[in-house]
Structure formats: C-alpha cells, structure tokens
Amino acid sequence: MNLTLIYLDNPFWRIELARIPLFIGDISFDDKRITLEEFRSAKETGFLKDGTKLPFHQIPCLVVDGVPIAQTGAIARFCGKLSGLYPSEDSISCALIDQFIDFVTDLTNLVYIPSNSPLTEDEKIQHRRILAEGELKRKLDMLEDNISVNQTWIVGKEMTIADIAIWRGIGWLASDLVAGIPQPYFVNYPKITKIFKNVDNHPKICEWVRKTYPSNYNRGYIE
C-alpha cells in the first residue's frame, strides 16, 4: 500500500495523529510537508502543485494508493487501525477514542482564530484570555473529571490515538504558540498532566520527537 500524508512542516496534533501511528507501526509512508505558500494556493484551488486533490481544500490529507482522504478523525482511524493504535475489534473502545479525538477538535475550534479574522493581535490575545478563564477552563475541567487517578492511558490499557490527540492538543494549548493563554496553564490538572507525561515519555514518542521536531520545539509547559 502506498501512503502519503500531506501537511505543513510542523507537528500540529491533526497530522501527528497520523504520522506517529504509522511511525510506531513501522509502516512506510511519504511524510509530505508543503509550504505555507502551497497551502494557501491549495485552499483556493483544491489541488497541490503535483496535482493531488484535497477533497475539502483542507489539510491534513492522506493519499492511499492514489485515493485522497480528508478529515483528521478519518485519517487517524485509518492509520491507527494499520498500526494497532485503534482497536477496531472493540467498538466501545473505538467510540471512546473517537469521543476524545472529537473533544480535541472542540478545543481547537474554540481557541483557533482563522488567519482572515478581522481581530487585531491584541484583540486575539484578549479573546483567548477570556476563554482561558471561561469556556476553555470549563471544558478542561470536564476532561479532568473524565479521567480517574489511576489511569495511565485515556482509553484502555495501551496507548491509542486518543492519547496522541490529548498529548499534542494539550501540548499546543500549553505552549507559547497560542498567544493569550497564560502559561503554565495546566497546573490544576494533575490527571491530564499524567496522561500527557506518559505519552511524552513513551520510548517511540521520544524517538519520533528526536527524529522530527526542531530541538527547541516547545511541546508544552507542563510540570
């Protein structure tokens, strides 16, 4: 099977949810990292320079034997099944994993401000400060409430794509990439922090980070 993953040259959670399972599963894939300029053009046209179609003019995109597939969750499940990080024979675990991936989508939609937003930089910061004390906090309190103290992974007894979604999604919110969220933000979330650290210390995750992340990359201020 010929696999190409398309995204920008950064480790945002939407794409790491596909790259990392394939890496862990030792499944060969083309890690295609496009420029911002090519992305901007593909948003308009729906095509990359090489003619690859992006179904909804969005990334990530996974191309399987020439068939382009969009949507973070669909791509993550495909890669998770191939690599054993999505237990497709266990419907309840799958649904629970899906719920956490969709939850990270909700967090992203809450905090993300599109590049064409009319808000000034100061207004964006102010908007996120309000979120950090309000709706974002409310959502993270719920996530914390859904994890028990003795849990190692977010679903079941093994690391799954849900843990990778939490790790990179929370890592993004805990980094300096989202201006306006006061850091450190996760001090009152010991159970989320524990899941984050378990993923962050997983040997294959450490290997992937060493191999692909810039050496000074901020994976999140989480102590």
Ligand X SMILES: N[C@@H](CCC(=O)N[C@@H](CS)C(=O)NCC(=O)O)C(=O)O
Give the integer Cα–Cα distance in Å for 10 and 41: 18
Coil vs helix vs strand at 127: helix
For the bound state, the minimum distance from the C-beta of residue 14 to ligand X, rounded and expressed in Å, comes to 6
Give the integer Cα–Cα distance in Å for 123 and 82: 43
Which residue lies nearest ligand X, judged by its C-beta?
Answer: 58
Identify the residue whose tokens are 């590049």.
115
119-138 positions binding ligand X, by CB under 6 A:
none
For the bound state, the minimum distance from the C-beta of residue 105 to ligand X, rounded and expressed in Å, comes to 6
- Range in contact with ligand X (rule: CB under 6 A) among 23-31, 52-60, 82-90, 96-104: 52-60
For the bound state, the minimum distance from the C-beta of residue 160 to ligand X, rounded and expressed in Å, comes to 18
For the bound state, the minimum distance from the C-beta of residue 41 to ligand X, rounded and expressed in Å, comes to 12
For the bound state, the minimum distance from the C-beta of residue 197 to ligand X, rounded and expressed in Å, comes to 25
Give the integer Cα–Cα distance in Å for 195 and 154: 7
- Kindly give the pairing relationship between strand 61-64 and strand 30-34: unpaired
Q: With respect to ligand X, which residue has the nearer C-beta, 22 or 193?
A: 22
1-20 positions binding ligand X, by CB under 6 A:
12, 14
For the bound state, the minimum distance from the C-beta of residue 58 to ligand X, rounded and expressed in Å, comes to 3
194 in contact with ligand X (CB under 6 A): no
55-114 positions binding ligand X, by CB under 6 A:
57-60, 71-72
- Binding-site size, ligand X (CB under 6 A): 9
List of E strands, 141-187: none
The 28-47 site mask, x for binding ligand X (CB under 6 A), equals: ---------------x----
Residue 183 tokens, joined: 């850091």
Coil vs helix vs strand at 188: coil
Burial classification of residue 58, based on how many CB atoms lie within 10 Å of its CB (0-12 exposed, 13-18 middle, 19 or more buried): middle
- Range in contact with ligand X (rule: CB under 6 A) among 29-37, 51-59, 85-93, 128-136: 51-59
Give which of 111, 107, 105 is closest to 128, Cα–Cα: 111
Give which of 107, 22, 106, 5 is closest to 64, Cα–Cα: 5
User: Where does this chain bind ligand X (CB under 6 A)?
Assistant: 12, 14, 43, 57-60, 71-72
